[in-house]
Chain A
Amino acid sequence: MDQSNGTPNLNKVGLSRNDYRGTSSTLCQGCGHNGIAAQIVAACYEMNLLPEKVVKFSGIGCSSKSPTYFLGRSFSFNGLHGRMPSLALGALFADHTLKGIGLSGDGDSASIGLGQFKHLVRRNLPMVYIVENNGVYGLTKGQFSATADRGLSMKKQGTNPYTPVDIAMEALVSNATFVARSFAGDPHQVRELLKAAIAHNGIAVLDIISPCVTFGNHEESVHSYSYGKEHEEPLHEISFVPARDEITVEDFEEGTTRDVTLHDGSQVILKKLEKDYDPTNRWQALHMLEDAQENNWLVTGLIFVDPEAPTMFDWYNMPDMPLNRMTEKQLRPAPETLQKINSLMF
């Protein structure tokens, strides 16, 4: 797509990949989060987003620091630990034409912030919600998070006695309209899922297993590179085709692909692997995740999508004009109305 308008390296809105970069990362070398930031740059570039049309949000954690490493021109708000959802919700009401990208960690969204996360999901606020899931608290140096596997042992922490929170499942039971899981070690899939998430009109939850090389990369941990590499079970191979782009059928053999058309007309093409999986069926999605848990699979791909569900903005009678562009004339009722109010105050 780099050559789409004839100029090499410029996308359709005339920007180069560089225009989507942020400052250089201060995270550990090899941290899964870095790879994800790189794919966000790539996805936004390929999706021809204007950085001025994107707002970034994050909580607190190594993961939540990441918004500095991409889309340096965009507005961004790095909020409180576990409380990014409410912040993003309020801010996106200011201008509903903006694309929100939220970045969080497993501690941020599954421990301290589980409540806000689930409530954001059930409201179906249109935004991309990425959880960089490493099973530990990176920033506070390696305690178990709520997604850590049961029975996992770490030197200072001992053995984790609790069952893990499954972010994709939590999202599903909260009626998320887009749920995907990926693995930071699979950049192609991360990128394609990000693009589909960006195109989705509603909350798009991406649970991305993102190994913490410093505190959580134990061989036996679900959140490690080695585990991910060995156990990743893609549901399908994924290609995202933006609206208006021609789909070249020969790439996808009849009978082995499945298309999902998103709200804006773009498509996710799922190339079937061995399972016949329908990502528009919530029950099947839950069943599949349950199965995967039992079998110790790290299932990745587009788990569920409902492209037509009403969003939070649809429930309000929102004007087309962004609320934050409104002036006194639109916001302060006329003096006569107060006379009427006064006459009713009895």
Chain B
Amino acid sequence: MADQKQIINDFCITFSTVNGSGSATANTTLMRALFRMGIPVSGKNIFPSNIQGQPTWYTLRLSKKGYLARVEKDDIIVAMNPATLAREASFLTEGGVLLVPDDFKVSELRSDITVYAMPVKKIIHEAEVSASLRDYIANMVYVGVVSWLLGIDLDLIRVALDFHFKSKQKAVEINFNVVKAAFDWAKENLQKKDPYRVETMNGVDGYIMSDGNTAAALGSIYGGVQLAAWYPITPATNLAESLNEYLPELRKDPETGKDTAVVIQAEDELAAIGMAIGAGWGGLRAMTSTSGPGLSLMSEYIGLAYFAEVPVVIWDVQRVGPSTGMPTRTAQGDVTMANFISHGDTQMILLIPGSINECFEFGWRSFDIAERLQTPVIVLSDLDFGMNQWVTPRFEYPDVPMDRGKILWEVDLDEKIKEWKGKWGRYLDVDGDGIPYRTLPGNQDQRSGYFARGTSHDEYAHYSEAPETWERVFGRISKKFVTALRFLPKPVLIENPGAKIGIISSGSADPAVVEARDLLLAQGIKTDYLRIRSIPFADEIDQFLQCHEQVFVVEINRDGQLLQLLTIKFPDQANKMVKTAHMDGLPLTAKWIFEQITAKKEA
């Protein structure tokens, strides 16, 4: 070890297990301990669509510079699954480390790597845990060995276990004892021959750990969600489940002890969206959360909400499609579907969070936007954000009061009708922004009621098939999507003076783009980066395209869906945009983006 350079807080470690074996506890425990050491760390779970017995990988990337994207090779692999051992070895970097149970055969694998064999069975046997717990506890052995190997303080492991088991001492003790036994075994029997180490640092001050679905649920709660209807689907399920988890504490009226929000598990996505739209029409902050197959089913209803002008928020936590595709793998493949969803000419508001923190922010902001514009808002998250644990800046309390939009209760309606000299219609655009005023069921003013429908109607909500009425009303609706630009989150621009190359990206592609830019810069290639956060596209995007010679549009799908939308919107700039799209189910890596840009750049 003396002649080796140490590699501190900057490597990648993968745990290979079979799913259903309870490895999640072990993996997140290590992640939490590293987080507590102040090390920027990201955890990615690559898992099958299956409950038990299939290979699962969990990767922890430690990065002192704070890079959170996936990397292609592993420095350390803990291989607990004999079936994938050979494959594992091929993923190791030059000189990497392999930890295996001591009954695995590893002699023929690779000569350049360091192998540590762990007496898993022996330690478990000595731990005297019940037979039913043995497989599960086996994972704690590698927690102990890895802790010794890397230099993780066992006190932090205990803190992490305490948190995980919500301080249930018995569970904490059983697990910790195994960790400790394995740690002690390693200390006495292993000789460290590899360069990987961890050290306490200040890399995550002001940060928390969360997955994007929890963040979205919490954001929605702070946004005042009142009705959430949903149907289970990976990777969106734990968004609604998080609502169930946090609502009782956060949204019980302190005076009455009553709930100010309801969560309803619907019979399918057709019903989930119907409930949400009914509630949105009734004046509730209403949402649904789903993934691609569910969004496909919601299509007809979303068109109704668009045309009848009903606010509703739809979270699409994207996975690999079409069809069932790869249900437990990540993608940005629903961008064009979401944008064009439903028959006829429709327009959608899309929000695309680019971090976990932004999942929280868009959780509340989406309601403001939906109610202000009286139209569906689709938030495009994905599995990588939704289900993986990330370090992210603390959630920030909404910095603006709720925007409930143009709602008229009894007194307001009376005043407005006077102001408008008696001329009142649900779909009248009185102030030129394309957004009419709306009344809500329960309003006791006789003039408040109206007939909402998906059939052609005039400004007074009366049925009409007159061609000019259709064009007038439909034209007015599209005006809302110009007004929308005032209310939508602007793209985030990161510049490097003198750069001729631009990168446009969005969502969970962001961490890889951020890292790729540094790799490019190290080669002398300067780039500017614009991260899109909403559609319809802001004017800033046009400017960005104008002032770069070549713009790489980086996204996680096959066909370049964001690029397609940009091309439609900015046809004059189409020639300079370069499709940089890739989708194999795994999050993008900086290396892939770097290679694409260096290979295709013109200047």
Contacts and interface: CB of A to CB of B under 8 A. Distances in A.
Of the candidates A318, A328, A330, A335, the one having the most CB atoms from chain B within 10 angstroms of its own CB is: A330
A220 interface: no
A90 B402 contact: no
B271 A331 contact: no
A316 B275 contact: no
Contact of B259 (A97, A119, A316): A316
B277 A90 contact: yes
Given A92-B282, A328-B401, 18 more contacts: A52-B443, A75-B448, A75-B450, A78-B455, A79-B278, A86-B229, A86-B273, A87-B281, A90-B278, A90-B279, A94-B283, A94-B284, A97-B442, A324-B440, A333-B221, A337-B250, A345-B394, A346-B32
Contact of A76 (B275, B285, B449): B449
Interface of B: 32, 35-36, 163, 208-210, 214, 218, 221-224, 226-227, 229, 246, 249-251, 253, 256-260, 262, 264, 266-268, 270-286, 300-301, 304, 308, 394-398, 401-402, 404, 409, 439-446, 448-455, 463
Interface in A85-119: 85-95, 97-98, 115-116, 119
A332 to B, nearest CB: 5
A317 interface: yes
Given A94-B442, A333-B250, A76 B267 contact: no
Contact of B209 (A119, A338, A345): A345
A323 B260 contact: yes
Contacts of B274: 79-80, 83, 85-87, 89-90, 116
A330 B253 CA distance: 7
B343 to A, nearest CB: 12
Contact of B451 (A78, A89, A119, A320): A78
A68 B266 CA distance: 29
A83 B439 CA distance: 23
A323 B395 contact: no
Contacts of A52: 442-446, 448-449
A74 B449 contact: yes
Q: When A and B form their complex, which 8 residue pairs have the shortest distance between CB atoms, in order from nearest?
A: A94-B282, A90-B278, A86-B274, A331-B224, A324-B283, A319-B258, A345-B208, A90-B279
B264 to A, nearest CB: 8
A80 B285 contact: no
B395 to A, nearest CB: 6
Nearest to A73: B449
Interface in A302-346: 316-320, 322-326, 328, 330-333, 335, 337-338, 341-342, 345-346
A124 B257 CA distance: 24
Contacts of B266: 86, 119
Contacts of A323: 226-227, 260, 262, 284
Given A87-B277, A90-B229, A95-B282, A332 B163 contact: no
Of the candidates B223, B277, B395, the one having the most CB atoms from chain A within 10 angstroms of its own CB is: B277
A84 B452 CA distance: 13
A215 interface: no
A79 B454 contact: yes
Contacts of B463: 68
Contacts of B257: 317
B395 A338 contact: yes
B258 A318 contact: yes
A328 B224 contact: yes
Contact of B267 (A50, A119, A322, A324): A119
A93 B257 CA distance: 18
Contacts of B277: 87, 90
5 contacts: A78-B455, A94-B283, A319-B259, A331-B260, A333-B250
Given A52-B446, A95-B442, A326 B226 contact: yes
Contacts of A77: 278, 281, 308, 451-453
Contacts of A85: 271, 274
Contacts of A76: 449-452
A316 B442 CA distance: 20
A345 B395 contact: yes
A90 B275 contact: yes
A55 interface: yes
B271 A83 contact: yes
Interface in A39-87: 50-52, 55, 67-68, 72-80, 83, 85-87
B313 to A, nearest CB: 13
Contacts of A80: 274, 300-301, 304, 454
Interface of A: 50-52, 55, 67-68, 72-80, 83, 85-95, 97-98, 115-116, 119, 316-320, 322-326, 328, 330-333, 335, 337-338, 341-342, 345-346
Given A77-B453, A90-B276, A83 B281 contact: no
A316 B263 CA distance: 9
Contacts of B455: 78
B274 to A, nearest CB: 3
A346 B209 contact: yes
A115 B395 contact: no
A90 B263 CA distance: 11
Contacts of B163: 346
A295 to B, nearest CB: 35
Contact of B222 (A119, A319, A322, A338): A338
Contacts of A328: 224, 401-402, 404
Nearest to A313: B262
Contact of B35 (A50, A326, A346): A346
Contact of B262 (A67, A93, A324): A93
Nearest to A340: B249
Given A85-B274, A345-B209, A78 B454 contact: yes
Given A79-B274, A90-B277, A333 B453 contact: no
A279 B307 CA distance: 44
Contacts of B272: 86
Of the candidates A87, A95, A319, the one having the most CB atoms from chain B within 10 angstroms of its own CB is: A87
Of the candidates A67, A91, A319, A335, the one having the most CB atoms from chain B within 10 angstroms of its own CB is: A91
A129 to B, nearest CB: 14
Contacts of B452: 75-78
Contacts of A83: 270-271, 274, 300-301
A127 to B, nearest CB: 12
B218 A341 contact: yes
B442 A86 contact: no
B212 to A, nearest CB: 12
A140 to B, nearest CB: 15
Given A330-B260, A332-B224, A324 B449 contact: no
A315 B233 CA distance: 24
Of the candidates A87, A90, A317, the one having the most CB atoms from chain B within 10 angstroms of its own CB is: A90
Given A87-B277, A90-B286, A116 B450 contact: no
B195 to A, nearest CB: 29
A341 B226 CA distance: 20
B210 A345 contact: yes
Of the candidates A83, A322, A325, the one having the most CB atoms from chain B within 10 angstroms of its own CB is: A83
Contact of A90 (B280, B395, B401): B280
A80 B452 CA distance: 12
Nearest to B35: A346
A330 B221 CA distance: 11
Contacts of B224: 328, 331-332
Contacts of A346: 32, 35-36, 163, 208-209
B282 A91 contact: yes
A319 B256 contact: yes
A319 B443 contact: no
B218 A324 contact: no
Contacts of A119: 266-267, 271
